[in-house]
Amino acid sequence: MMKTIAVANQKGGVGKTTSTLALASAVANKGYNVCLVDLDPQGSLTLSLGLNPDTLEKTVYNILINELTVDEVALKIGNLTLLPANIDLSAAEIELLNEIGRESILSDILKTISNRFDFVFIDNPPSLNLLTINSLVAADGVIIPIETKFLGLRGISLLLSTIDKVRKKLNRNLEIIGIIPTMSDNTVMSREVLDELKSNVDNITVYKPVKRTVKVVESSVAYKSIVDFKPSSDIAQAYKNIAEDLLKWQKNRA
């Protein structure tokens, strides 16, 4: 059964796109059918896979407004399938405001491909807007990347509160799979932030920190996930370990 995972945090620059692509690639490399949904109008995930968002005429925006089907938009890139995004997506929230069941539009769309994929990974915008709510309603689980700086902790309570409200009112099956501390280093600040994070979240898995490294930037320039660009690196192994947990989670949720 297909499982949908939203990678979310309303703060930008915390490694959402890097984490989304790394986890999706690690799972796909295990032989699973994986679909990526770029739900950020900035198109960072689309760009990370070597596409120029500005030149795309068919994107997830066209699917959300019921203009095109998934098959008409989906792009096969290596062993991944991508529903790309560009700035057009920024208009979707306004256009969907008056739609009946506007929070469940993405969920209804993904149900049409549930027999074709094992996993869907959704890269979300840096905000708690209607697009992110759609992602949470469509998702079975949420992964939360948090930068290991004090500013990274700001807003985590708001995000957890939003997830809880979605769970109570719109998606009772939504589960927080875990938190990924990102861009970690050996500074006192990183260690203190990690300790505070662990002490302030109850019953939520906090994964081992993903270290800060220039390899992530290099992988972006190469238009590859970090697990494909430097598969033997510490950061690639960190994401592979989390991916293994996702596969176990999928089996437990079957």
pLDDT tens digits for range 176-226: 999 999 877 777 777 887 878 787 788 899 999 888 788 888 898 899 999
pLDDT of residue 152: 65
Residues 6+ apart with CB under 8 A from 137: 103, 104, 106, 107, 166, 170, 171, 174
Greater pLDDT, 26 or 99:
26
Angstrom distance (rounded) from CA 76 to CA 82: 6
pLDDT of residue 12: 87
Would you say how long the chain is, in residues? 254
- DSSP codes joined into one string, 14-51: SSHHHHHHHHHHHHHTTT--EEEEE--TT-HHHHHTT-
**Structural domain boundaries in the chain:** 3-253
Residues 122-158: tens digit of each pLDDT: 999 999 999 999 999 999 999 999 987 766 677 788 8
Is pLDDT above 90 for 32?
yes
Q: How far is CA 29 from CA 44, 80, 143, in A?
A: 22, 9, 19
Is pLDDT above 70 for 56?
yes
Mean pLDDT, residues 27-48 taken together: 97
pLDDT of residue 148: 78
Q: Which pTM does this prediction carry? A: 0.95
pLDDT of residue 231: 95
For the ranges 76-80, 143-147, 186-190, 233-237, the one whose mean pLDDT is highest: 76-80
pLDDT of residue 91: 93
Instruction: Among 85-99, 103-117, 181-195, name the one with the lowest average pLDDT.
Output: 181-195
Per-residue pLDDT band at 8 (split at 50, 70, 90): very high
Angstrom distance (rounded) from CA 144 to CA 94: 26
The percent of residues above 90 in pLDDT, for the chain, comes to 73
Angstrom distance (rounded) from CA 38 to CA 191: 32
pLDDT of residue 201: 82
Q: Show the tokens assigned to 153.
A: 């902790």
Per-residue pLDDT band at 245 (split at 50, 70, 90): very high
For Cα atoms 171, 177, 158, give the angle at the middle one, nearest 5 degrees. Answer: 65
If one looks up domain 3-253 in CATH, what number appears? 3.40.50.300
For Cα atoms 211, 213, 214, give the angle at the middle one, nearest 5 degrees. Answer: 165
